[in-house]
Chain A
Amino acid sequence: DTEVTQTPKHLVMGMTNKKSLKCEQHMGHRAMYWYKQKAKKPPELMFVYSYEKLSINESVPSRFSPECPNSSLLNLHLHALQPEDSALYLCASSQDQTTDTQYFGPGTRLTVL
């Protein structure tokens, strides 16, 4: 099983809203990732969690706040987003942060009005 699940599939929010994206995997992976993907572009890394600790923050604005409650779950809390933040947000996991094969979820399509 190489499944990573993400909810919701679609999200529309205003610039003053607070929302959260959720990601879950049950492969026993200890590294989890958030990526942002704009239309017709490759995924861009945002955050890396390793053993439930934030390992990498790719200079992401503070209006994006990641959280890793346990080894299977990864959240991305959103607050005061801008229309340019509209994108597909992808979650991925790998066995650990030094193991290379990352498996991606289906993504959450976010629209900020």
Chain B
Amino acid sequence: GESVGLHLPTLSVQEGDNSIINCAYSNSASDYFIWYKQESGKGPQFIIDIRSNMDKRQGQRVTVLLNKTVKHLSLQIAATQPGDSAVYFCAESPVGGGATNKLIFGTGTLLAVQP
């Protein structure tokens, strides 16, 4: 079946270092991918998204890379800060062209930033 998974359930980094969170997906028909950040006791917060016709997209301190050949998605956070500590979910939307948008979430990675 379709699934979105993460390689590392927990990632611990030093403040100031760069972080890379990985995600694998299995549905080659997926058209759209999103990264969400969820802090303890809060709802998921949109970080950045990318469509399947792109392989890289940059935001403020964040970059998403999409490798369709190996069905891999990654989120890079530059100069990681304590406020970046949270659970990060990737999600894919396996449909396009007018069908209902149903996000499939990965299992999540806990990013712990050490001061």
Query: What is A's interface to B at a CB cutoff of 8 Å?
Result: 2, 4, 6, 31, 40-43, 45, 48, 50, 55-56, 90, 94, 97-107, 109
Contact = CB atoms under 8 A, between A and B. Distances in A.
Sort A-B residue pairs by CB-CB distance and give the 3 closest, nearest first.
A42-B105, A104-B43, A100-B32
Interface residues of B, number: 24
Contacts of A103: 46
Interface of B: 31-32, 34, 36, 41-46, 49, 89, 91, 93, 98-103, 105-108
Given A40-B108, A42-B107, A102 B101 contact: yes
Given A40-B108, A42-B108, A102 B103 contact: yes
Given A100-B101, A102-B103, A104-B45, A42 B32 contact: no
A100 B46 contact: no
A104 B103 CA distance: 12
